[in-house]
Chains A and B, each alone.
Chain A
């Protein structure tokens, strides 16, 4: 069946709620309203208000309650309406979610999923467009995931629910309804920590995740028209990230372009760049380049210019090829 990302994420939760009575969904507006993006639409009708819980407007409560539930044996999926509003819940994420297994010596743990739409694309200004994934990747104890396709949205979210570790699951909202694709009918799981090769190539590697992926594919197609063979790799998971796949691609092409919508300073891709140069210094044909958001808040009127789309990727690719 063909689904868009929203529908695929909804299906993932429906299937997990049906599979396991310990799974619950909680968040602002997730129940009667079905979520502001309608991703949880119909879930409360189907599974009841006990399992699909409308909460007060409080991210600390949502995340905190999810931790306490998980410690007592449930598998909560907490929705934060926008990643931009995750901050009131951040002490819960840093002090409780990320640390309870470690600080208790493995005696208590909190397997849960925090879903949060991130990135631009809905003309929401800086409080509806941010990409804060690096902060979470920088916090030991969290796994960080970001799908870019409906099939991955389905398979990664289901895998995240079953994961024994807490997973912060960012959803590129610009791709929610961007396209539909054929999604496997039966049980579909995507292992966390594994990248996906979207396009094979030999001249350079375009590596990204989430909302950048369609831009990288667009850029690769344009490069193909110029006779340049670009490989496109989708990280899908930031923690843990697929070193093997990245290094294999980088070793093959010798030219690496890392793309992310998040601001440039301390961007997660800086870590990937570091490992690439550390491991493959003598095999690189050019410095590793990064395309990222600007180090400004996400603007409203200049949203298009802020976003590091295919054109900016192509310019960087040209620099890379010129070495």
Chain B
């Protein structure tokens, strides 16, 4: 069992890839390699998508590079398709590792017919009913009280599911974040709250969000366990998140895990970070890159795939992306009049009138 409320983030391997913890690693080589492939895939997709943006095919992109260890580990720590997930908008690594197909993923960014949300949402609002990955609202922290409600329902229905709720560091300043965590603790709702602390909410750094030494410590105020983890250490993330998920499942109570990470890119394609952080800061975090670090670890274990294998993997992801982009675009855009569907379960008179108006404009 890991210690709650540690002063320093829990880490299992150092930046040099050496073990820093006494715990043994219970994972077989296949799992370790899968973690690497999943992180590499998330990084490659993230980098290639910037190209999609430059080509003008999508209007907006928010990179998650730098946050792969946290997001990939979380997907490995839960029961995919069984547990429910209320994610946030920068969770590419999570949704891809959970199994959201690349065509569906791209269709969401492009707003084409293949998009589950029928082109209703701007890019970065992924969902998948078969993965129990709930549709995202842009409103920061607004997923937190609903995640608590889903967990309350899971408990009410007597399931062994848990609910996972992710958010960034900025979310922890919102009233709804407090409301959701407090309610979860009082109602003993099985939620795993995961703070993906990338230290920047647009231009507001962590010290603008909180005077607390870290974010995990806030759990104490709600009467729930809090774990502070090195979010650049995929093994620490996997170990703590797995243990926390099973603790939530077993005890039926919420847990907060903070993964201290970093976003390499700007907040979004509409942002310029030169006014609020230095290139030196970004460089210092890139030097602690979660993928490089894990590769160093694997190398020490004699498990690191050869450069050739890794290059072949990158080429494969690239060709998958190209095929997926074609598939995502193939069906075209949703019909204009579909904008009136799903406002309600039925089509009330006033919407029927407006739909007719739109059709008459053709």
> Hey, which bits of chain A sit against chain B, CB under 8 A?
24, 50, 53, 55-56, 58, 60-61, 63-74, 76, 88, 91-92, 94-96, 99-109, 140-141, 143, 163-165, 193, 239-240, 243-244
Is the pair B149, A68 in contact by a Cβ cutoff of 8 Å?
yes
Is the pair A105, B120 in contact by a Cβ cutoff of 8 Å?
yes
Q: In chain A, what residue has the closest Cβ to B353?
A: A243
A61/B145 contact (C-beta < 8 A), A68-B150, A165-B344 known: yes
B179 interface neighbour in A58, A70, A163, Cβ under 8 Å: A58
Question: Min CB distance, B348 to chain A, in Å?
Answer: 4
Instruction: Name, among A53, A69, A163, A165, the residue most crowded by chain B CB atoms within 10 Å (CB to CB).
Output: A69
Is the pair B342, A56 in contact by a Cβ cutoff of 8 Å?
no
Cβ proximity bits B103-143 to A, threshold 8 Å, 1 near / 0 not = 00000000000011110110001010100001101110011
CA distance A108 to B348 in the complex (A): 20
CA distance A161 to B154 in the complex (A): 20
Cβ of A143: which chain B residues have Cβ within 8 Å of it? 344
Is the pair A64, B180 in contact by a Cβ cutoff of 8 Å?
yes
CA distance A308 to B147 in the complex (A): 43
Is the pair A102, B343 in contact by a Cβ cutoff of 8 Å?
yes
Q: In chain A, what residue has the closest Cβ to B163?
A: A68
Cβ of B342: which chain A residues have Cβ within 8 Å of it? 101-102, 104-106
Is the pair A56, B115 in contact by a Cβ cutoff of 8 Å?
no
Cβ of B349: which chain A residues have Cβ within 8 Å of it? 240, 243-244
Is the pair A73, B139 in contact by a Cβ cutoff of 8 Å?
no
Is the pair A141, B344 in contact by a Cβ cutoff of 8 Å?
yes
CA distance A88 to B142 in the complex (A): 12
Cβ of B27: which chain A residues have Cβ within 8 Å of it? none
Question: Min CB distance, A173 to chain B, in Å?
Answer: 25
Q: Which 6 A-B pairs have the closest CB atoms?
A: A64-B145, A68-B149, A104-B135, A65-B149, A68-B146, A105-B118
* Residues of chain B from 147 to 197 with CB closer than 8 A to chain A in the complex: 147-154, 156-157, 163, 175-176, 179-180, 182-183, 186-187
B135 interface neighbour in A74, A103, A141, Cβ under 8 Å: A103
A67/B117 contact (C-beta < 8 A), A58-B183, A102-B343, A104-B135 known: no
Cβ of A141: which chain B residues have Cβ within 8 Å of it? 343-344
B345 close to A (CB within 8 Å): yes
Is the pair B156, A107 in contact by a Cβ cutoff of 8 Å?
no
Question: Min CB distance, B108 to chain A, in Å?
Answer: 10
11 new A-B contacts, CB < 8 A, other than A60-B145, A104-B117, are A64-B148, A68-B145, A68-B147, A71-B146, A99-B137, A103-B117, A103-B125, A104-B116, A104-B135, A105-B118, A243-B349
> Hey, which bits of chain B sit against chain A, CB under 8 A?
84, 86, 115-118, 120-121, 125, 127, 129, 134-135, 137-139, 142-154, 156-157, 163, 175-176, 179-180, 182-183, 186-187, 341-346, 348-350
Cβ of B120: which chain A residues have Cβ within 8 Å of it? 102-105
CA distance A163 to B125 in the complex (A): 27
CA distance A104 to B153 in the complex (A): 20
Instruction: Name, among A73, A94, A96, A239, the residue most crowded by chain B CB atoms within 10 Å (CB to CB).
Output: A96
CA distance A94 to B186 in the complex (A): 25
Q: In chain B, what residue has the closest Cβ to A63?
A: B145
Cβ of A56: which chain B residues have Cβ within 8 Å of it? 179, 182-183, 186
27 examples of A-B residue contacts, CB within 8 angstroms: A56-B183, A64-B144, A64-B145, A64-B176, A64-B183, A65-B148, A67-B146, A68-B150, A68-B152, A69-B150, A69-B153, A71-B149, A72-B149, A72-B157, A92-B145, A92-B176, A101-B342, A103-B117, A104-B135, A105-B116, A105-B117, A106-B341, A108-B127, A108-B134, A164-B345, A165-B345, A243-B350
Is the pair B86, A68 in contact by a Cβ cutoff of 8 Å?
yes
Instruction: Name, among A50, A68, A73, the residue most crowded by chain B CB atoms within 10 Å (CB to CB).
Output: A68
Is the pair B183, A91 in contact by a Cβ cutoff of 8 Å?
no
Cβ of A76: which chain B residues have Cβ within 8 Å of it? 149
CA distance A105 to B111 in the complex (A): 11
Q: In chain A, what residue has the closest Cβ to B145?
A: A64
CA distance A79 to B84 in the complex (A): 26
Question: Min CB distance, A96 to chain B, in Å?
Answer: 6
Cβ of B134: which chain A residues have Cβ within 8 Å of it? 71, 100, 104, 108
